[in-house]
Structure formats: structure tokens, C-alpha cells
Structure 1
């Protein structure tokens, strides 16, 4: 498992470099420019509420890694930068530390370096309720992520495929822990039907975790001797597709998966995400540029998100859902096939003027 953790970082960075400059479904989301709607960026607050959780930023560092000396160093860099930029941060799956307590410091560093910040622990849906409690205790976590990764497990050489046990396990975890539970996909997306099921299981928030970012099917296929699952690369729903599909599913939504720059953050907020997770971009800066480079990058993202919100007249991240949005191309086709009327998104300002 430790070797796999290091493999994931190495392969994910290779794929991040390969993805740069490639189109995304997020490019099919266009914010309509109204030239007199802008406000002073100084009026924009970045504070948000996610199911009662108070965050100082709509951008959070999503779960990535941990469990080895190398990934522990990466986590230290991520945590220091998150602290200096006042961003929430999630751990990678702590399962390796639950099974081998000697690995715990490689995760605990997140809390040690971000002692007063919002920290999320992370376990798989196949873990027990007791494991979930131990994960929260390990990080003194403010919330718990439970990740779903069926496609990854299927391709992973040592993967666990008892997928039919996951729903009752999630319900048990929700009953057992005393912090909010966020269920996230790791890159294949959450459909509206899935989010509705999660709501019924007692989950507080859904992180759609769509395609467009790290493709763990490809990552795990690269670890296979035969590399025989290459054709499954790209499996799943994109992040904006999930946001459209799950908009009426009854849970607050977070968006992650393929977030490349601050404009993507505001696009996701405009489609209904309460906050937006970034992983591979911050990982690349952490590994390639180091601590100060990552601090600078995270602060730039905060400043640019604030600026783009001001450009569309949104005084807060929550106000972005009143911006006019055009949905085009492949994303519009998916919406039509799923029975989602995206034309109403293009005429929001004709209905309400609540941006200011």
C-alpha cells in the first residue's frame, strides 16, 4: 500500500502535465458578461457556509495523499500553504494509517501545520464505523470525507470490489461520527440519483468529484503489468455534468475534478457548488515549486476568484448562482438527454436582481 501511495503521486503528476492545455467540459460553461453589473472587489467576501460548516474560502485543498515519508513531506507543504492562505484542507485516505499506526504522522502533519484551520479526514466507503471515528480522531478533524472509487478499485491490481456493501457502511458511518460527513467521488462523478441515495443514507454534503482531473482508472491501469484497462480511461461524468444532474437531489454540493484555474471555480459556483476543491494543480506546484510557490499560488487563486465574482456582480460565492450562464456543446447535449433545461440558466437576471 505504501508503494501504491508513492506511485499515485508520481503517475498523477505525469498525467497533470499531459492534461495541460486540453479542453474540458467546464469550457462549455460561459458566464454572460453584463458590462454594468460589476462591483468593487473590495465588497466581495469569500466566506461561505457549507451545511453549517463555516469556511473562509470557497476554494479548498481536496484529499490527495499520505502514508509514506515522501507523501508526508507533500502533506506538510500543502498544510503550510493552506494555513498561510486560510484554505480548508482534506487528507488523502487514512486507511494505511488505520492499519499501520506508524504511518499516522504522515497524515497528522496536516493538523500539526494547520492547527486552527478546517481539516477533513478521509476514509473509503468500505471502512467500518469505528475506523471512521478513528480517522476523525487522528486529525482532530472538523469533517469526514468518505470516498467512492468503484472504477478505481476495479482496475487497481489489489482493489476491493465489494461495492454492494458501501451503502450500509456509509449509513453506519453517518450514525457513528459526530462531525459532518461528506461523500466524494475520486474522479468518476456523482449522478443526481447517487446524490439522492446519499441524502437518504444520512450524508450531509456531496462532493461530485467528476472527470477532468486525475483519472484514477488511468493511474491504476499504468500500475498493471498488462495495462489492459486503458479503454476505461475517462469513465464517468464530468464535474459540471454532475452539478447539473444533481442540482435538485437534496444535498449541498461541492465541486471537484478538473478544476484548472479560478475561472473554473466561479463556473462551478454558478452551477450550484457551495465550494470547489482543487487537488492536482496544487499538488504539481507543491512538488515542482515548493512551499512558497504554493502559498503564492493559493493566494493568487483567492484573489482571482474574488475578482471574477466582482466581475459578474456577485458579492459572495453564494451569489454566483444568480449569474447568467450559457451551457454549450457536449455538456448541453448531456443535459438535454438527461431532461435538464439549461435555458433557464441563461436568463436568471431577467427573473431576479439579487446579485447586489
Structure 2
């Protein structure tokens, strides 16, 4: 990949952005979030003014369980999008991640398309992003390039398989991740790009020293579709929908695992955010859902959209009797349809999620906000 000409790489970046935006404009299809439903307990609600949205992710603390996930960078077009994302992150306090920075390491003249994330958001939480096949030295350079607070390492074997110019050797990725974790001075977040992290993969990441992972599953932007549309014969259509959803990946998480889980992929609304948090995610990333606003209306459109999401999330927590995002993990959830079938095949008891509140003491809220 490092030998690819800059012009070819930049053209691919712009194609990715255009095809991702096209998918986002098609609307939000049904996905596994629709197979989850909260059990409504009509007298369990709290006061939205008492809900605190700040969350802790290991050594990190974020002001809300929401972040702008990595999308793009490296061309004039994508730099304009990153500028709008950075402004929105600055104005709302949300963490923001870059897209893959490989192009900036291989072709330094493209680096400004990523630096803009820090230039427009000097005090915010910015995540660099690099592929699992890169070296520890490359990881250090990526962190330095945007003065990153964390580093996302993406694993995208499915995308690479369909990508016309993609890698085909994934055998060294685990060792590469282990080496990067050992040398990078900021937290490393390993993330999929829309095909899910199975329970087995989550256990492997823990063994490699990873402490935070984004299970990023199917149901949102589909990179098989994007890469297949770039193929002359479009001959990989059979892989559309490959992998696991974020919901299934969260359900498949190993019990008592030290891995802090984030979730993204197919997140269409604050209700989807609440469902992911209820399944144990500490924070939820949105890419495609914010991409349309960033490209069509810029930060003036994206900022109020994010503010509405945060307000709705606060209200949903109150409705569900949760004083914090972490409390959502004790709400009752119904797991339905094909998702339920998948759980049973994986040895997961879906019924256990429907009676979680019965296992905790009941809190009575006084009108004044006091509890007893």
C-alpha cells in the first residue's frame, strides 16, 4: 500500500467519501438495533436534570457517551469535511477521530487534511487512525501528526479483500497490534470498520494488551458495497452484509472481560445509542449519520444535530430510570427475531436481558429529586 501513487490514493479517498455519502442519503435501513426493545416500566423514570452523561473509559473520561467516528482525510475535498467535523467537535465537546492516515504517512503533502482536526479543535479529544498492518514507528508518527489523545487501529480484512488494490496478507496483524500497543504513549483503540468484533476476537485483543475496542459492526456504511462499486465487474456483491452487527458483537462479549467496549456501525438515532449502552458499550460512535450533515450543511447543521442527540439521550436515560449511561446496562431489553436466533446459536441466553432490573434494589424518586 505504501507504494501506491499519491494521485491514485487521493482518488480512492474521494471515491470512498462520495460512495459513503450516497449510502447515507439512501436512508437508514433496518438492522439489528431494530431487534432490541426496552421493556417499559411506567413508574421507574427519573429526572432528566439529574442525568449525568459523562463516562469513564479506563483512564479516559469523556463528557458524553458519544463520539464522531473516523471517516476520511488526505485530499482537498476530505479536508473540508474534516474541518467541519472538527468545528462541530469543538463546539459540542465530543471526541473526534480521523479516517485512515496512511496516505499522510506515505505522501506528506496530504497531511493537512488530517492536521485540520487539531487546528480547528486545539483543546479537544482527537483520535488518530491507522491500519493494523502498519509499523509501531508509523503509529508514533500518526499520533504526532495530529497531537492525538488516542490512536485507533482499524482492522478491515473484509474491506481489503474486496478493494481492488487492497492487501491480501493479514497474517501479521495481531503481532503488529501487540507491538503498537507496547510503544504508543496514548491509549490504543482497536476498531473494525463495519464487520464486527466477535467474542473470540475480543479475547485475542485482551491477550495482545488492548484495553479499548470499538466493535463497529454491519448495518451502517458497508465498505463491501463501496469497494465493490469500484470494481469493474462488481463481482463481490455476495459479501454485502458480511460479518456481525455491533449489537451481536456486544452480546457476544466475554463475561468479566477487562476490555472496554465502544460501539459503532448502523447507529441511526439516540435510541440506538441507548440500546448500545444498555448492552455494555461505554460510548457510541457515529460516522455516516453525521456525514450527511457535515457535507451538506457543515458545522452549522451538524452542531445542533449533535446537541439534539445529547438532549434526547439525556431524556431517554430519565425515561428508563437511568441516572447515567452506565445505569442503562441494568435496564431490561427484549432480544427478538433473527438476533435472538443468532444468540441461541452462539450459546447466549437472550432471556437474561429481559429481567435485569429485578436483580437490583428499587429506588423511589421523590418529587423533589430526593430518593429513598
Give the corresponding residue for 2:218: 211
In 2, Cα distance between the equivalents of 1:352 and 1:158?
A: 53
Is residue 247–residue 272 contact of structure 1 (8 Å, CA) maintained in 2?
A: no
- Flag structure 2 segments of 5+ consecutive residues without an equivalent: 1-8, 364-370
Q: Superposition pairs for residues 52-131 of structure 1, below 5 Å?
A: 52-131=59-138
Q: Of residues 254, 271, 282 in structure 2, which corresponds to 1:263?
A: 271
- Residue 254, structure 1, aligned to residue 254, structure 2: no
Q: Give 1:152's match in structure 2, choosing from 159, 164, 188.
A: 159
* Alignment partner of 1:15 is 2:23: yes
Against the structure 1 CA distance between its residues 62 and 21, is the aligned structure 2 distance closer, same or farther, given a 3 Å change threshold?
closer
Q: 1:293 aligns with which of 298, 301, 326?
A: 301
Q: Identify the match of residue 280 of structure 2 among 272, 281, 294.
A: 272
In the alignment, does 2:340 pair up with 1:332?
yes
Listed as ranges, the matches of 1:151-170 within 5 Å are 151-170=158-177
What do residues 241-279 of structure 1 show as CA deviations (whole Å, max 9, x unaligned)?
000011424411100000000000000000000000000
Gaps of 5+ in 1: none
TM superposition score normalised by structure 1: 0.98
Number of residue pairs the alignment of both structures matches: 355
How many Å apart are 1:67 and its aligned residue?
A: 0.3
**CA–CA separation in structure 1 for the residues paired with 2:179 and 2:29:** 41
Distance 2:289 2:357 in 1: 33
Residues of 1 paired with 2:258 and 2:204: CA distance? 10
CA distance, structure 2, for counterparts of residue 354 and residue 100 of structure 1: 59
Q: Decide whether the 8 Å contact of 1:129 with 1:176 is kept in 2.
A: yes
Closer/same/farther in 2, CA of residues 354 and 58 from structure 1, 3 Å limit? farther
More helix per residue? 1
1:302 to 295, 310, 319: 310
Q: Render the CA deviation track for 1:321-351: whole Å, top value 9, x for unaligned.
A: 0111111111111000000012111101111
Alignment partner, residue 252 of structure 2: 245
**1:36 aligned onto 2:67:** no
Partner of 1:232: 239
The CA distance in 1 between the partners of 2:306 and 2:135, in whole Å, is: 34
Superposed CA deviations along residues 120-177 of structure 1, whole A, max 9, x for unmatched, are 1000000000000011111111111000000100010110121001000000000110
How far the C-alpha of 1:21 sits from its partner, in A, is 4.3
Distance 1:353 1:259 in 2: 31
1:137 match: 144
TM-score (norm 2): 0.94
Give the aligned partner of residue 292 of structure 2. Answer: 284
Structure 2: distance between partners of 1:89 and 1:22: 25
Query: Partner of 2:192 in structure 1?
Result: 185
Which one of the candidate residues 32, 39, 45 is aligned to 1:25? 32
Matched residues in 2 for 1:285 and 1:165: separation?
38
Report what 2:368 is aligned to. none
Tell me if the contact between 1:324 and 1:346 (Cα under 8 Å) persists in the aligned partners.
Answer: yes
The SS at the match of 1:237 is coil
Query: How many Å separate the matches in 2 of 1:22 and 1:306?
Result: 25
Paired with 1:118 and 1:29, the residues of 2 have a C-alpha distance of 31
**Counterpart contact for 1:322–1:354, Cα < 8 Å:** no
TM-superposed deviation, 1:16: 1.5
Deviation at 1:14, TM superposition (A): 1.0
SS at match of 1:163: coil
Q: State the Cα distance separating 1:51 from its structure 2 match.
A: 1.4
Contact (CA 8 Å) 1:123, 1:146: kept in 2 or not? Answer: yes
RMSD: 1.1
Greater CA radius of gyration, 1 or 2?
A: 2
How many Å separate the matches in 1 of 2:340 and 2:331? 18
Structure-2 separation of matches of 1:299 and 1:154: 38
1:96-123 superposed Cα distances (whole Å, 9 cap, x missing partner):
0011111111101111111111111000
Structure-2 separation of matches of 1:287 and 1:61: 14
- SS of 1:164's equivalent in the other structure is coil
